[in-house]
């Protein structure tokens, strides 16, 4: 109360927080309560006169500290905004990924031709690179909307971060001193290593930009039993015996102004100049952490620095397993017949040519219904590769019908959006595998090789 009043016992009370006392003794301009701010906290105030004569000689003031209530409301509103943008992004992703798939596959096919002159090959390389950048942008959007595809496995964070910090030491300016506080154990978590690497790199890049004249960037890792009280636990609680793994990334940079802090996780919000940032970095980090069942917090002080703290559900050390190393070599094809089912004609042609380039033969159909007719005429079809969303009959209905008819050819799906909850039900129907569009030819080759019967 004394902090709010800005006075000591016995002194004349003239104001509460940022409001003159005289204003608080009158009716508020709207609602029932006045509002005052002091020491970073928010108070609601109402005054009632004690009438002993013609005019009140005394007043009773009721004060409510509503700081936590307002912060919780702000977090809820921010969550609703992120969810709305995420739903919009996921809706766009399917059609956008179809377009990217056509550009990327056609560029790769053109580059594979040996008779291209140097300048044409250079332009095709640029097209292919830009298509990949656009695909990465879509993945960023899907990350913050929490609809990205995760390939989770147990990862020991201590050696993982040791490697990441060593990489940063070679890429960050020499004016930035890197510090790495090792943990007592491996701090094993179930994560997608690629997404976690994206989190570390994005935070490091933000810290670099906040320290243009140099400074200190410190990583710390520890196992903790519970979340701090200011963070709400996620819906799915971790193993209580394992607790949480806490990763902190602290810089000595410019800090985040108070008026900017509430918006830092909003997609497309950035304080950087044009062409210097998409405004997706922190929103992508937020989405990745949330999708892994974790929490993220931030503390900052202008002119002193910023600390991001990430909590991820820990795994018991006994749950750690050896990582499976996937060979980089593209599997060799044996000329099997692939049926490609895709309603977009340009993408269908690009997929046919890609499959042919990989060493397979290809037939095509514009939807599931036409695919069934092709299957009836060509018993040599060894695998069906289908889009998920198509007119007349989509990929799910085609998969069901194929299994009901006793067709033994495996079915794989190419989807313009992550399958999420659909994946389990599709696998229950017999789905052999799937890829997100635009498919990388090497990933497509591995998918086909894995799905085809030996």
pLDDT tens readout for residues 128-162: 766 766 666 666 666 555 445 566 789 899 998 98
Residue ranges of E strands in 89-167? 153-156
DSSP 36: E
What value does the mean pLDDT take over residues 6-12?
Answer: 65
Is the pLDDT at 55 greater than 70? The verdict is no
Q: Domain holding 213: CATH number?
A: 3.30.565.10
Whether the CB-CB separation of 288 and 198 falls below 8 Å is answered with: yes
Q: Final residue of a domain: which of 144, 166, 190? A: 144
Measure the CA–CA gap between 311 and 34, rounded to whole angstroms: 38
Shared domain check, 430 and 408: yes
Shared domain check, 82 and 58: no
Average pLDDT in the chain: 79
Shared domain check, 378 and 402: yes
Measure the CA–CA gap between 389 and 167, rounded to whole angstroms: 41
pLDDT for position 208: 92
In a domain, 328, yes or no: no
Q: Domain holding 77: CATH number?
A: 1.10.287
pLDDT for position 274: 46
User: How many domains does the structure of the chain reveal?
Assistant: 4
pLDDT tens readout for residues 19-44: 888 788 777 777 788 888 887 788 88
Shared domain check, 181 and 40: no
Measure the CA–CA gap between 387 and 438, rounded to whole angstroms: 12
Is the pLDDT at 348 greater than 60? The verdict is yes
Domain span at residue 162? 153-319
pLDDT tens readout for residues 179-227: 998 777 888 998 888 788 888 888 998 899 899 999 999 999 998 888 8
Residue that wins the pLDDT comparison between 113 and 33? 33
In a domain, 331, yes or no: no
- The two tokens of residue 237 are 């609680």
Q: Final residue of a domain: which of 34, 65, 96? A: 65
Whether the CB-CB separation of 251 and 215 falls below 8 Å is answered with: yes
Q: Name the nearest CA neighbour of 357 among 112, 125, 132.
A: 112
Shared domain check, 301 and 279: yes
Helix%, strand%, coil% for the chain, nearest 5: 40, 20, 35
Measure the CA–CA gap between 129 and 107, rounded to whole angstroms: 9
Q: Name the nearest CA neighbour of 376 among 384, 449, 347.
A: 384
The contacts of residue 273 (CB under 8 Å, 6+ apart) are none
In a domain, 329, yes or no: no
In a domain, 214, yes or no: yes
What value does the mean pLDDT take over residues 283-293?
Answer: 83
Residue 369 CA from chain centroid, whole number: 36
Shared domain check, 105 and 50: no
In a domain, 325, yes or no: no
Helix axes 118-144, 67-112, angle to 10 degrees: 160
Dihedrals φ, ψ of 297, to 5°? -135, 165
Shared domain check, 351 and 294: no
Residue that wins the pLDDT comparison between 65 and 148? 65
In a domain, 258, yes or no: yes
Q: With 0-12 CB in 10 A as exposed, 13-18 as middle and 19+ as buried, what is 447?
A: buried
At residue 369, the 3 state secondary structure works out as helix
Q: Domain holding 423: CATH number?
A: 3.40.50.2300
Shared domain check, 313 and 167: yes
Which residues partner with 244 through β-bridges?
224, 313
What value does the mean pLDDT take over residues 64-85?
Answer: 75
In a domain, 327, yes or no: no
pLDDT tens readout for residues 245-264: 999 999 999 999 988 888 88
What value does the mean pLDDT take over residues 411-429?
Answer: 83
pLDDT for position 153: 82
- pLDDT band of 321, cuts 50, 70, 90: very low
Q: Name the nearest CA neighbour of 428 among 406, 385, 399.
A: 399
Q: Final residue of a domain: which of 65, 92, 120? A: 65
Is the pLDDT at 323 greater than 70? The verdict is no
In a domain, 330, yes or no: no
pLDDT tens readout for residues 87-109: 666 656 656 666 777 777 777 77
Residue that wins the pLDDT comparison between 340 and 231? 340
Shared domain check, 78 and 58: no
Shared domain check, 213 and 266: yes
Cα dist from 86 to 120, 214, 280, 285, 303, whole Å: 38, 36, 12, 14, 33
Shared domain check, 203 and 135: no
Shared domain check, 310 and 164: yes
pTM: 0.49
């Amino acid at each position: 109360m004394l902090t709010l009043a800005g006075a000591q016992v016995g002194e004349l009370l003239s104001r509460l927080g940022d409001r003159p006392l005289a204003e608080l003794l009158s009716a508020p301009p709207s609602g029932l309560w006045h509002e005052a701010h002091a020491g970073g906290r928010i108070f609601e105030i109402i005054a009632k006169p004690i009438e002993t004569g013609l005019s009140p000689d005394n007043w009773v003031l009721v004060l409510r500290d509503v700081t936590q209530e307002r912060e919780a409301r702000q977090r809820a509103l921010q969550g609703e905004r992120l969810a709305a943008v995420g739903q919009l992004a996921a809706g766009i992703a399917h059609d956008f990924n179809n377009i990217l798939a056509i550009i990327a596959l056609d560029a790769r096919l053109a580059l594979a031709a040996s008779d291209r002159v140097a300048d044409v090959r250079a332009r095709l390389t640029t097209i292919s690179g830009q298509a990949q950048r656009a695909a990465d942008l879509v993945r960023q959007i899907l990350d913050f909307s929490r609809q990205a595809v995760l390939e989770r496995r147990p990862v020991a964070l201590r050696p993982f971060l040791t490697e990441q910090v060593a990489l940063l030491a070679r890429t960050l300016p020499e004016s930035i001193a890197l510090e790495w506080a090792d943990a007592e154990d491996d701090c094993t978590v179930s994560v997608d290593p690629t997404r976690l690497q994206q989190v570390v790199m994005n935070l490091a890049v933000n810290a670099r930009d906040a320290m243009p004249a140099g400074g200190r960037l410190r990583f710390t890792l520890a196992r903790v039993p519970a979340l701090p009280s200011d963070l709400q636990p996620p819906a799915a609680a971790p193993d209580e015996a394992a607790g949480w793994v806490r990763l902190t990334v602290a810089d000595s940079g410019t800090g985040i102004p108070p008026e900017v802090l509430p918006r830092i996780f909003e997609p497309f919000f950035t304080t950087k100049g044009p062409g210097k940032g998409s405004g997706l970095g922190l929103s992508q980090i937020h989405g990745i952490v949330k999708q892994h069942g974790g929490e993220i917090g931030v503390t900052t002080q202008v002119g002193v620095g910023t600390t991001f703290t990430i909590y991820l559900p820990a795994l018991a050390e006994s749950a750690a397993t050896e990582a499976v190393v996937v060979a980089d070599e593209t599997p060799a094809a044996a000329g099997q017949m692939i049926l490609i089912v895709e309603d977009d004609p340009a993408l269908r042609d690009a997929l046919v040519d890609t499959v042919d380039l990989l060493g397979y033969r290809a037939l095509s159909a514009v939807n599931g219904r036409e695919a069934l007719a092709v299957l009836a005429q060509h018993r040599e079809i060894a695998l069906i590769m289908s889009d998920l969303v198509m007119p007349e009959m989509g990929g799910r209905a085609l998969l069901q019908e194929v299994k009901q008819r006793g067709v033994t050819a495996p079915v794989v799906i190419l989807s313009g959006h992550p399958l999420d909850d659909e994946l389990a039900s599709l696998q229950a129907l017999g789905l052999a595998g799937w890829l997100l569009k635009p498919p990388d030819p090497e990933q497509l080759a591995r998918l086909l090789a894995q799905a085809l019967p030996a």
